[in-house]
C-alpha cells in the first residue's frame, strides 16, 4: 500500500504495446495509485501489476522480453504477487500463440494455444455477455453485465486443473467463457494471476466494477 495515501499501488507495465493511458485512468478512477513504467524494481514492489496488450501475439512477446517483462511476471507470481493481464496481455500467459501458421512461445503460465477465432466475422468487436463461475471474485456483482471485446484470436480451451479430483485441496482456476462462433476463454482467475480477454478499461461501469473488485483483492 502507498504509505502516503493508504491506497493500493499498481504498476501498468510500459513495454510499448497496449492501451496504457486508458488503463491508467481507469485504475485511478477506482482508487489505485498508478504508475506507468518498465522499471523492474517498481514493477516487482507494487501491490498489483497490470500487463496490457494490443496487436499481435509475437510483437507483444518481443516487447515484453525487451524490458524483461517475462522475468517480472514470473517472479511476481512465484511470490504470490498479483498480476492482471488484459487482452493480448492475457493471451501471452498461455504456452503458444498461432498467427497465420507461425507459432510464438508465450509466458507459459497456462497450458494451451491461442489461435484465430473460428467465426463468420473476425475480428470480434463490440459488447458481449460472459459466463462467469458463481464463486468468481472478479465478477462479483457484475456477472450479468456486458463487456467490450476487440480481438481476432483467443484461447478456446483451458485444461489447467481439469484432472484435479473434486475433493482436492488445490483450488481449480476459475474460467469465464464467452462466445463468438464458438466458446472462448473470456477471463481466468488463477491465484495471483488474473486476466481478461475483453478490455475492462473500455467496458464502462461494468469494467470499472471489475477493476474495483481486483483492486479490493490486492
CATH number of residue 70's parent domain: 3.40.50.880
| pLDDT value of residue 4 | 47
Task: Please give the average per-residue pLDDT across 188-208, as a whole number.
Answer: 98
Given a cut of 50, whether residue 213 has pLDDT beyond it is yes
Q: Measured between alpha carbons, how far is 57 from 61 in angstroms, rounded to an integer?
A: 6
- 185-196: burial string, b at 16+ Cβ within 10 Å, e else: bbbbbbebbbbb
Number of folded domains in the chain?
Answer: 1
The domain containing residue 182 runs over which residues? 9-96+110-217
On whether the CB atoms of residues 51 and 74 are closer than 8 A, the answer is: no
Task: Please give the average per-residue pLDDT across 196-206, as a whole number.
Answer: 98
Could you tell me if residue 117 is left (phi over 0), alpha (psi between -120 and 50 degrees) or otherwise beta?
beta
40-54, 104-118, 154-168, 188-202: the lowest-pLDDT one: 154-168
Q: Indicate if 87 belongs to the active site.
A: yes
Among 124, 151, 180, 199, the one annotated catalytic: 199
Among 109, 145, 201, 212, the one annotated catalytic: 201
Identify whether 178 is part of a domain.
Answer: yes
- pTM of this prediction? 0.95
Identify whether 105 is part of a domain.
Answer: no
Identify whether 4 is part of a domain.
Answer: no
Q: Indicate if 28 belongs to the active site.
A: no
Q: What is the pLDDT of residues 123-179, one digit of tens each?
A: 999 999 999 999 999 999 999 999 999 999 999 999 999 888 878 888 899 999 999
Identify whether 173 is part of a domain.
Answer: yes
Identify whether 132 is part of a domain.
Answer: yes
Residue 11 forms beta bridges with which residues? 35, 49
Instruction: Judge residue 70's burial from the number of C-beta atoms within 10 Å of its C-beta, 0-12 exposed, 13-18 middle, 19 or more buried.
Output: middle
Q: Indicate if 100 belongs to the active site.
A: no
Identify whether 66 is part of a domain.
Answer: yes
Q: What is the pLDDT of residues 57-116, one digit of tens each?
A: 999 999 999 999 999 999 999 999 999 999 999 999 999 999 999 999 999 999 999 999
Given a cut of 50, whether residue 5 has pLDDT beyond it is yes
Q: Measured between alpha carbons, how far is 54 from 89 in angstroms, rounded to an integer?
A: 8
Identify whether 131 is part of a domain.
Answer: yes
Identify whether 146 is part of a domain.
Answer: yes
Task: Please give the average per-residue pLDDT across 112-123, as a whole number.
Answer: 97
Among 35, 87, 145, 151, the one annotated catalytic: 87
Amino acid at each position: 500500500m502507498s504509505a502516503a495515501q493508504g491506497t493500493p499501488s499498481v504498476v501498468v507495465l510500459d513495454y510499448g504495446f497496449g492501451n496504457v493511458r486508458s488503463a491508467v485512468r481507469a485504475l485511478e478512477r477506482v482508487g489505485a495509485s498508478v504508475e506507468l513504467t518498465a522499471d523492474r524494481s517498481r514493477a516487482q514492489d507494487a501491490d498489483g501489476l497490470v500487463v496490457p496488450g494490443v496487436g499481435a501475439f509475437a510483437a507483444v512477446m518481443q516487447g515484453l522480453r525487451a524490458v524483461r517483462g517475462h522475468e517480472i511476471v514470473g517472479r511476481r507470481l512465484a511470490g504470490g504477487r498479483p498480476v492482471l493481464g488484459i487482452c493480448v496481455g492475457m493471451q501471452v500467459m498461455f504456452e503458444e500463440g498461432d498467427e497465420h501458421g507461425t507459432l510464438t512461445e508465450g509466458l507459459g503460465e497456462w497450458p494451451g494455444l491461442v489461435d484465430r477465432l473460428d467465426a463468420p466475422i473476425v475480428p470480434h468487436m463490440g459488447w458481449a455477455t460472459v459466463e462467469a463461475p458463481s464463486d468468481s471474485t472478479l465478477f462479483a456483482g457484475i456477472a450479468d453485465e456486458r463487456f467490450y471485446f476487440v480481438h481476432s484470436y483467443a484461447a478456446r480451451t483451458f485444461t489447467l486443473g481439469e484432472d484435479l479430483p473434486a475433493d482436492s485441496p488445490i483450488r481449480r482456476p476459475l474460467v469465464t467463457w464467452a462466445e463468438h462462433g464458438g466458446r472462448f476463454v473470456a477471463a481466468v482467475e488463477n491465484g495471483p494471476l488474473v486476466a481478461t480477454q475483453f478490455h475492462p478499461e473500455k467496458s464502462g461501469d461494468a469494467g470499472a466494477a471489475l477493476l474495483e473488485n481486483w483492486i479490493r483483492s490486492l
